[in-house]
Amino acid sequence: MNIIKTKLSGVLQIEPQVFGDARGFFLETYSEQRYRKSGVDYDFVQDNQSRSSQGVLRGLHYQLKHPQGKLVRVVRGSVFDVAVDIRVGSPTFGQAAWTILSDQNHYQFYVPPGFAHGFCVISDFADFEYKCTDYYYPEDEGSLLWNDPQLDIPWPVVNPELSDKDKKALCLSDIPKNQLPIYTSI
């Protein structure tokens, strides 16, 4: 397993070891012991899966009182995946990191609690799986505007398909600080 640190502390790109031959491939998608040693030192309590078609953009989502860390991967297709540091007081507040996740590269992306997360499907469709460090509470969720100019994210779409909730999301500078997670150094 190869761990690549991004410019955002705690956000990791994980490249698992893939064993393949003419029959197909095998990879370990999660091992608590191995991942803890690599910096993903959280307990996961919920697994989710979504399927989306090309051009769908989900995010940028976060939870305030129950922040979720997410270990994400794509089992079919490909996505442009993004993490944004929205923790008030963080040295990297308002900065983003991104990667391409696909069924070809088998990469994973770890997004710690307190970050906003989103992805855009760049293949015909994508099956997206993620492990979460806390349960989902719809009443606790916030949305950050996907194309907030302050974030300077190079999204691969101009007019993505968005949910009604994501269409109403705010720019980071318009979200009151008391409605964002607080940075605590480790």
Active site residue 130: yes
- Rounded-to-integer distance, Cα 69 and Cα 84, Å: 12
- Rounded-to-integer distance, Cα 175 and Cα 150, Å: 13
Give me the catalytic one of 61, 106, 107, 110. Answer: 61
Active site residue 117: no
State how far Cα 156 lies from the chain centre.
16
Task: Give, as one character, the DSSP assignment of residue 20.
Answer: E
Give me the catalytic one of 62, 107, 110, 130. Answer: 130
Of the candidates 40, 50, 156, the one whose C-alpha atom is nearest the C-alpha of residue 109 is 40
Q: Which residues are catalytic?
A: 61, 130
